[in-house]
Amino acid sequence: MTWFAVLLAVAGAVFFAFAARLQHDAVRAGGGAPKVGRLLRRPRWLAGLALLVVGAGVHAVALGMAPLSVVQPVGVLAIGVTAVLDGRRRDLPAVALTTFGVGAFVLLAAGSATATPVAPEAELTAGLLVLGLVAAPGLVGVLATRPAVRALGFGAAGGVAYGYVSVLMRSVSQDLQQGRVDWSTALSAAGIAAALLVGGWFIQHAYASGPPHLAVACLTVVDPLVAVGIGAGLLGEATRTSGPVALAELACAAVAVAGVVALARVQNPFAPFRSESTVNDGRATRIVIAAETFPPDVNGAARFAHRLAAGLAGRDHDVHVIAVDPEGKARTERFDGITVHRLRSHRTPFHRTFRIGLPWQVSKDVRALLTELKPDLVHVQAHFVVGRYVLRQAAALGIPTVATNHFMPENLFGHARCPRWLQGVASRWAWRDLTRVFGAADVVTAPTPRAVQLLHDNGFPERALPVSCGIDIDRYRLRPAVRTNEGPTVLFVGRLDEEKRVDELLRAVALVPRLHADIVGDGSCRAEWELLAEHLGIADRVRFRGFVSEEELLDAYTGADVFCMPGIAELQSLATMEAMAAGKPVVVADAMALPHLCEPGRNGWLFTPGDVAGLADRLHSVTADPAVTARMGVASLELISAHAIDATLDKFEAIYARARRVPAVLRPAALAGAPAA
């Protein structure tokens, strides 16, 4: 009977570990102190609660079949399971040490402990003792300012409360088995509910202050110590235990505690984890930028990641980029002052140029890289595969993290050929996934206020802040103009995919006499749109240029008269910003963040997506009079000055300092009042 109870207790430990993993993710995704209302709306937290209830039920059955001092220590196995779930296999020696200590303790206790009835007087005495034991670490958790101390205090208080739950569960289980249910049974059940609520409150706050293994480590040390101490000291379960056996049990318990302490020390995410070799005078930091896409990829997210990395390197920071390789092989290269670590990648069926890393490969490679690099800070650019595992490993290692969102589900539907009837459900799932992943970051940004609002509208806690992607204005402003068409020219730069709506631009060009169009970029819709240009009879006025070199792109901007962005899924639109820096008017869709870049009548016009005639009218009004074209181009230059790359770098440096909790080295345009991490 005793050994079957031990097996049930092992099963309960596994349930507890999975519950901790799920609830921790849900709490961290919410940011800040956990709120009951929000947690009850999070499926992962509710799933964790369900597993917790199942584990508690299994544990209660085990407690009714064997002494408390035998069953309760088995719960320490949950820390090993949690470590495995977190991918912390390098910590398995410490887990093995803990497991050995607990196993030996259970083996000795099973042969000497005596199951005794739990008297109401003993319950009351234990309850008074537990009140004092909960108050001390709980007060430490409430008053502490350091996250490490806060997590340990809350976790220890929760462990004390849960240890008392085990005592009460044994009492209720015995009453039910004997068919004796009276007022004392009801009081015990009420005590279980109260202790679970108190312990749960402390544990959720421990999750909010640190990773799940910290909370589980506290629980698996404090919970059994309290329960076994009450069993031996108040319930008389150690009456048959001889002196040598008691000493052996204490030695095994010490081994188990030592293993847990070693595990907690290794896993402590708040221990200093900083680069030992600073680049210069201490102002510089070692920064890892994790990007799903990076040059030679041609898209806005890749260009921003490169611009940010190169700009930080230009300020003497030690910048490393982790991204998948565009051809497939893992390698390391250095250019523009940046060290780029390319991960193994594989083609996808959705897009011929879009490659991904396999999760199990990325997880392993990222863990090795972060362990070797010991960065001061990690800045992830997406929540897909690379960003997801870099953020997860950085959080586990205690590295401060910043996350920037460039994602909208609409940008993927065309690639994935998602049917329209399924897009609503897919969009909601995608936003929930982003919220869960980015919830672990210390600071979250998006390129524009509209992009930030989009995050908040889709469930992300209201703590994200806008930081422009920034642009090297002089690079475009000072470029001499190169004309390639005799008539006025409208330029589009971007992926030729469904959400960009270049077909609307082509139909509008057909309505404006003499207007030429330069289309720079490639994508899944290029062949279709080339055929459309022929069908509209404007093939001689439209050039599909595909991917071009950086120098050719600069010439394309300077050679155009107006820039058009008809896309409806732009969180900022770097291409529009680059055109403005080249001194060009813009005609852009009145959708998402594009209105932030256009003041109608001043530097261009907005048009309603789908209104081809309206778009044609706007293009004609800008290009018909050279004086209007020139005036609006000057206005674009004035407006884009607020997005200078130096201002963006200043803001991110200030955000990095806040995330690291170190004084910021402010430059002239540095961010004022960046939110604390």
Residue with tokens 């940004």: 445
Which of these, 404, 386, 389, 470, lies nearest to 442 by C-alpha position? 404
Q: Are 522 and 496 in contact (CB under 8 A)?
A: yes
**Which H or E element spans position 202?**
helix 183-209
Q: What is the DSSP letter of 500?
A: G
What's the 3-state SS for 64-112?
A: HHCCHHHHHHHHHHHHHHHHHHCCCHHHHHHHHHHHHHHHHHHHHHHHH
Asked if the domains at 286-466 and 481-642 fall in one CATH topology, the answer is yes
Tell me how far apart the alpha carbons of residues 338 and 148 are, in angstroms, rounded to a whole number: 33
Angle between helix 77-85 and helix 92-112 axes, rounded to 10 deg:
160
Out of 72-76, 146-150, 349-353, 486-490, give the one with best mean pLDDT: 486-490
Position 268 scores a pLDDT of 39
Q: Dig out the tokens for 382 from the structure.
A: 């997406």
Pairing of strands 489-493, 516-520: parallel
Domain 481-642 has CATH 1.10.510.10: no
pLDDT digits 0-9 by tens, 599-655: 999 999 999 999 999 999 999 999 999 999 999 999 999 999 999 999 999 999 999
Q: What is the DSSP letter of 349?
A: S
Which sign, positive or negative, has the C-alpha torsion 86, 91, 95, 96?
Answer: positive
Apex 224 CA angle, 223 and 226, nearest 5 = 70
Which of these, 218, 214, 201, 216, lies nearest to 147 by C-alpha position? 214
The arrangement of strands across the sheet holding 586-589 comes to: 542-546, 516-520, 489-493, 562-565, 586-589, 604-607
What's the 3-state SS for 555-586?
A: HHHHHCCEEEECCCCCCCCHHHHHHHHCCCCE
Higher pLDDT, 421 or 370: 370
Q: What percentage of the chain carries pLDDT values higher than 70?
A: 74
Each domain of the chain, given as residue ranges in start order, spans: 2-263, 286-466, 481-642
Report, at the CATH architecture level, how domain 286-466 is classified.
3-Layer(aba) Sandwich (3.40)
Tell me how far apart the alpha carbons of residues 415 and 481 are, in angstroms, rounded to a whole number: 35
pLDDT at 670 over 60: no
pLDDT digits 0-9 by tens, 556-600: 999 999 999 999 989 889 999 999 999 999 999 999 999 999 999
The mean of the pLDDT values for the chain is 81
pLDDT at 320 over 50: yes
pLDDT digits 0-9 by tens, 464-512: 999 999 999 999 998 888 887 888 999 999 989 888 999 999 999 999 9
